[in-house]
Amino acid sequence: MKDIFKIACFFFFLPFWGNTQNSILPFGEYMQQVRQNHPIGKQAGLLEAQADATRRIAKGGFDPKLFGDYEHKTFDGKNYFRIGEGGVKVPTWFGTEFKAGYNWNNGVFLDPSSNLPAAGQAVLGGKITLLQGLLIDDRRAALKQARIFREMTKVQQQQLLNDILFEAAKAYWDWSFAYELLEIQKNALQFSETRLQAVVASFEQGDKPAIDTLESKIQVQNRQLQLQEAALFFQNARLVLSNFLWTKNDVPLELTEEMFPEQLPITLSAEIPSEVVGVQNDLMKFHPDLRFYQLKLSDLEIERRLKAEKLKPKLNIEYNFLADRLDFQNGDKINGGENNPALLFQENYKWGVEFSMPLFLRKARGNLQLTDIKMATTNLQLSQKRQEVKNKIEAYLQQMNLTQSQLRTTENMTENYRLLLAAENEKFRIGESSLFLVNSREQKLIDAEIKQAKLRATFQKIQVGLQRAAGTLK
């Protein structure tokens, strides 16, 4: 299994290598791979498919529907009745439902009011909603909400990508800092080993006391321990970074020891990205978290309209044109009338009215009240979220400016420590200083270099955090 992973890693990172001596994984290429292949990134893509399925379900409420019914009773050798009906119903956007069907029956014990022509009777008609359901009904509300849900999934996609890319970027710059720390400790060990050799040579020539060799040896041992700790820190950072690397076939990848990060940028700019400025100028329009609450309010507004519609009484009118078999223009042959097309509207029809209304409307009023409470809650959540976003962006901007200022101070301090160490080494060479002071100056320089590298990594993470807070990390 490890061999398979190594082979996969080789082909995965081959575009980044170029040659065996340049095994650097660039930050941009790394983020692109996370965006394309990470399971959570793919999960974000599934949200759009889910929205399409939801919208298809809502559209199904307007699909034409075939219907049919057949009933047959025989008893004591008599054909009591055979009754059949079949046809199609077509709902429309405006709440009207059209119907086309065919009825037939025969038998000894039929209800006289159900008598039909011998060959059956075609029916054309429709059902019209006049009160409840005239402006909006369940089908129209479902389709409108499905359209809003599609927009909400796009926002959720952006939110998911923001979160996973933020974590991936932090892992990369932690890895980069760990690599810088490892290089600093390697150089420190090399300097201490070179100094030990020089001190031993001076001792052998009688220029330095034996205690200096012991102190130099202890310093080398300390540097070895620090290098081991830095190597472990780098190894752990590499493993954390591997959590974000996957192949297109959903196979996890592990970074090889030959892969290294980009060097932490030396020149840093605190300029605010243009997309962040755009979000600051119009949070409600561009920020995904706030857009989500706005869409949720739109969804609740449709729900409220539907619940308010339920307060109205139901009043439906159904009207059907009747035919002799399939001939709607053949007069009133059922009653022996003459061929007169006008009879289609005067005598060959069936119509009815349906009315209902709860006396207290407690269910409808309760549902409407619950929706109003949901809307009020969502408005409060939107206000709170807007303030949180504004404060978070402002906090990141302040951190960015502060970190850049600290970094300038640290760079100046590091250079001064470097000059102090050079002067102390020269004094030690001519016998005017001690090895203790040299080691102390060197440790101060190492600490300053580590702090400088850490601030550079922190600055990169702050920039990514600012983009995430603004919802533009994509």
Domain-by-domain residue ranges, the chain? 2-37+140-301+371-470
* Residue partners of 294: CB distance under 8 A and separation at least 6: 284, 382
Average pLDDT of span 33-57: 85
Rounded distance, CA 283 to CA 208, Å? Answer: 69
As beta bridge partners, residue 83 has 71, 105
Write down the residue that tokens 């409220």 correspond to: 304
pLDDT at residue number 198: 84
Residues 369, 307: contact at Cβ < 8 Å?
Answer: no
Structure tokens at 378: 């969502």
Nearest 5°: the CA angle 240, 241, 243 is 70
Per-residue model confidence (pLDDT) at position 17: 35
pLDDT of residue 310: 92
Which residues make Cβ contacts (< 8 Å) with residue 281, sequence separation at least 6? none
Q: Is the pLDDT of residue 72 over 70?
A: yes
- Enter the pTM of the model: 0.78
Angstrom distance (rounded) from CA 53 to CA 47: 10
- How many residues belong to the chain? 474
Residue 218 to residue 465: CA distance in whole angstroms: 42
Q: What is the mean pLDDT of residues 454-461?
A: 93
Fold of 2-37+140-301+371-470: Outer membrane efflux proteins (OEP) (1.20.1600)
pLDDT number for residue 338: 53
Name residue 17's amino acid: W
Tell how far CA 80 is from the center of its chain.
Answer: 64
Q: Which of 204, 354, 182, 193 is nearest to 257 (CA)?
A: 182
Work out the average pLDDT over 438-448: 91
